[in-house]
Structure 1
Amino acid sequence: MSSEYMIGDAWGELLRDCHAAGLPAGRYYEICERDDGYISAYDAVGFFEGPGGWPPLDRWACEQARGRVLDVGVGAGRFSLPLQADGVDVVGLDVSPGALKVCAERGLGSTVRGTAGDLDDMRRFDSFLLLGKNLGLLESREQGPRLLAALRRLARPGARILGTGVDPYLLDGAVHGAYLAKNRRHGRLSGQMRLRLRHLLTATAWFDYLFVSPAELSGMTAGTGWSVVDTRTDGAQYAAVLALAPDAAPH
């Protein structure tokens, strides 16, 4: 789709502006645009909330973290910073340089720019966070197993993935039903969303973000060494714990 927006780090710029302004409520919003024109907005202050302001599913999932932690899609560090304060060895991972700058300004000690596939396998972790609905980073039916394979390569024995996501089949059908049906007609998972984030006159490139049901998530783990061992739900949203099989050696 054509656009008058400049392509850049809109996500990082949003976080930097909100942080520099002192986190004023109701002033900075994550503007998320879907490729059918649907737009949502979320107050950016929420990306800086401490544990008391987290959704209960994120809080429950984060409480399951053990050992060395990789926070995938760390954003402003809302999950990593409290873990670090509790003495947890945590690394924040994000593709956004602006987000990582905010993490550094807020005191997060260890960050890496890139994706899980960019990390060398000398780094090993016991827990992987995909919180804040970041099970969406599975992206698609094809890409999801690739991300799970990348995390397996970085995993210590007994590692777990702790994530929260959205079941697309429990969304408002009047708003989202036609989009989900179009995805199915084109051979995609129903909840494969084509999105971009906007801030002022900057937008990210378009990217895929997956709203995947717990059943679809379980199916996606086949052959990856991971399996879904626990879930908790709250309406359309849910938390999932994925465990690495004892005989699933990193590869």
Structure 2
Amino acid sequence: MSSNTDPLGTAIIDYLNQTNDPIITVESNLTEPDEIPVRYLFRNKSEMPEKELFALSKAEGRILDVGAGAGAHARILQDENKLVVALDNSAKCCEAMKKQGIKHVVCEDFFTYSDNEKFDTIFLFMNGFGIAGTIDNLEPFLIKCKSLLKPNGKIIGESADIIYLFEEEDGSVNININGKYHGEILYQMSYRNELSGWFPWLYVSVDILTDIAEKAGLKQVDLYEGMDSDYVICLQNQG
């Protein structure tokens, strides 16, 4: 397999072209390999769980969908006559979104992205806070988000506390308190002959995210808690 390619984007294009029913393999340094049917990335509103519908209902005004992927959320928001900019650093994902009729697609890395007009909402779904990569980079990531927001603008994002992965049979937790944060994971995706290479991803508890968000000038204003330590949080720009 070749490295530093775009297995996700290739699989999404293959799905749109109906060449097969593609499946992406996801590996991590903490769990067994998993398979994601690409059709899941094209789900419609009726196929989405309650927490996803909650997040979509909170998106308003001018919206930036970060890491938009196949464009499922951007498509729904656009169909509801909301103004959404779909941002992704994958050229193939951006091509796929344009093919689906998503009007405002930007192919760029989030950390270098800028816009002359600020946003009312930044949408970070599919564990979008994970883009920060590490707990040390979470505050700079949130500050970057804040720089793109209007006063009182909101971030709507999803994450989870994965400390349960470290629980022993007796209920104790086996983590190194002097090591890296337990929610820092390495992932790798593969599809056909393409391999993404390992990349960092972050899962963060509500309490820690809220504390770091306050340092970045963002305040929790809404919260939806799921069944598996997952949640959707709304953070509002305080200045």
Work out whether the TM-score is over 0.5.
Answer: yes
Aligned length: 236
Q: Distance in 2 between matches of 1:180 and 1:155?
A: 39
| 1:183-204 deviation digits (Å, cap 9, x = unpaired) | x542x22111111111111111
1:9 equivalenced with 2:6 (yes/no): yes
Residue number among 116, 126, 132 corresponding to 2:126 in the alignment: 132
Structure 1, unpaired ranges of 5+? none
Percent identity of the aligned residues? Answer: 22
Residue 159 of structure 2 corresponds to which residue in structure 1?
165
Q: Cα 1:232–1:17, aligned 2, differ >3 Å: closer, same or farther?
A: same
Residue 46 of structure 1 corresponds to which residue in structure 2?
40
Q: Distance in 1 between matches of 2:116 and 2:12?
A: 30
CA RMSD across the alignment = 2.3
Question: What is the TM-score with the length of structure 2 in the denominator?
Answer: 0.90
Residue 190 of structure 1 corresponds to which residue in structure 2?
182
Q: Distance in 1 between matches of 2:74 and 2:9?
A: 17
Task: Give 3-state SS (helix, strand or coil) of 2:204's partner.
Answer: coil
1:235 equivalenced with 2:227 (yes/no): yes
Q: Cα 1:191–1:180, aligned 2, differ >3 Å: closer, same or farther?
A: farther
The code of the aligned residue for 2:235 comes to L
1:96 equivalenced with 2:90 (yes/no): yes
The code of the aligned residue for 2:237 comes to L
Residue 105 of structure 1 corresponds to which residue in structure 2?
99
Structure 2, unpaired ranges of 5+? none
Q: Cα 1:65–1:37, aligned 2, differ >3 Å: closer, same or farther?
A: closer
Q: Distance in 2 between matches of 1:31 and 1:123?
A: 38
What is the CA-CA distance between 1:181 and the residue it aligns to? 2.5
What is the CA-CA distance between 1:36 and the residue it aligns to? 5.2
What is the CA-CA distance between 1:222 and the residue it aligns to? 3.2
Q: Greater shift after overlay, 68-77 or 6-15?
A: 6-15
Residue number among 171, 195, 203 corresponding to 2:195 in the alignment: 203
Task: Give 3-state SS (helix, strand or coil) of 1:135's partner.
Answer: helix
